[in-house]
Amino acid sequence: MTARRAPEARVGGRTVAEVRRDFPILGRTLPGPGGREQPLVYLDNAATTHKPEAVLEALGGFYRNSNANVHRSLHTLGEEATAAYEQSRETVRRFLNAASIAEIVFTRGTTEAINLVAHSWGGAALRPGDEILLTEIEHHSNLVPWQLAAASAGAVLRFVPVDGEGRLRLEELEGLWSERTRLAAVTHVSNVFGTTTDVRRLAEYAHARGVPVLVDSAQGVPHLRVDVRELDCDFLAFSGHKIYGPMGIGVLYGREELLDAMPPYQGGGEMIRSVWPERATWNELPYKFEAGTPNVAAAVGLQAALEYVTALGPDEIRHYEEQLADYARHRLAEVPGLVLHGPRRGGGTVISFTFPDLHPHDVAQVLDRHGVAVRAGHHCAQPLMRKLGLAATLRASVAFYNTPEEIDRLIAALGAAREFFAP
């Protein structure tokens, strides 16, 4: 143990050891060197988080007791399923502090939510020569949809640059903005550096010029207290599986007046009001954007996840996670030959690093043999990797169920990786 004190492992009035017992998968062991079983150390939370028993029970309970299609059934199961589905929407509304459930659209995840806006809003609003402002730290989910929208409309993409510590240089907005700027679409928290965008500052600048703001909060909602009215954003997207909920469910928040003016994203059942052979009229919000049978069970599971996080306390979660991440950065900085990418302190829960003489994929495989799960790759941020002059990095990302002892296990496994590849 180094001289730096590890953070106290408590969150939401409970010890982390107590919290971990809510997550069955964290009790897994994996075969280690010599065949000895060792506890799993899961540090890939930016890719997906694990699920507490409350979420697993909600999923199973829906299928065991109330499985039915929603909105169209008059029988008891259908009414129960519809009530559960809409209660989940209300839970999301409260969690984000949206003004109305009309502003909460269920999607398959962040990617689909952003594609919905790019296709529907972008298809209606963008014209040749218009400009879309993005940043150099965007995940492909908030880059490729706008590339497609720009190509379709003849629009142009511009990018806010990032400094050497992974922080956006918002002071350069003035030089990037023009009278043709039609949208600012930005990541909330970088999935490479863990740095947080000052969304409120950007929104004030954009709204003073009559331009809406979209926020990719896939990495923000799980770790920050997100209030869409306080951020003053116009669209915000997140995924359930990154906030301890099921895969296959996500949310698009959109200001009601913007959603109301947008054409449907997909056609089919549920999103219609009336249909004739040659035309149709659309359902009210948010159902206009929810064609077909939704993932009702996942929505129920998402509600359970948000209630679990709310009970622990978003502020308490953030405090512990940031302390743990700073402890990890401190320990990683002590590893000989390791290079940290991004801030040395206060960079959020995501930490990227490399050994210049070792490929990240090789190191990740050795870590896995020691029971430590991290991510290795370009993290769906290839333009940023090219700017850094890297093909890939290793990425450790913490959650509130991780412990200082697990960080120490990571450090020991990195030492084993250096020894394994030593000439």
Q: How far apart are the first and last CA of the chain?
A: 28
- Catalytic, 380? Answer yes
**Active-site residue, from 380, 381, 384, 411:** 380
Give the CA distances from residue 201 to residues 195, 207, 254, in Å, rounded to whole numbers and listed in that order.
15, 10, 19
Q: Where are the beta strands (DSSP E) in 206-294?
A: 213-216, 235-239, 250-254, 272-276, 279-282
CB neighbour class for 71 (10 Å; exposed up to 12, middle 13-18, buried from 19): middle
Strands 372-373 and 272-276: unpaired
Strand partners, 183: 132
- Residue pair 101/253 in contact (Cβ under 8 Å)? The answer is no
Helix axis angle, 296-312 relative to 76-96, nearest 10°? 40
Of 164, 135, 137, the closest CA to residue 340 belongs to: 164
Please identify which residue in the block is written with the tokens 């142009």: 156
Active site residues: 380
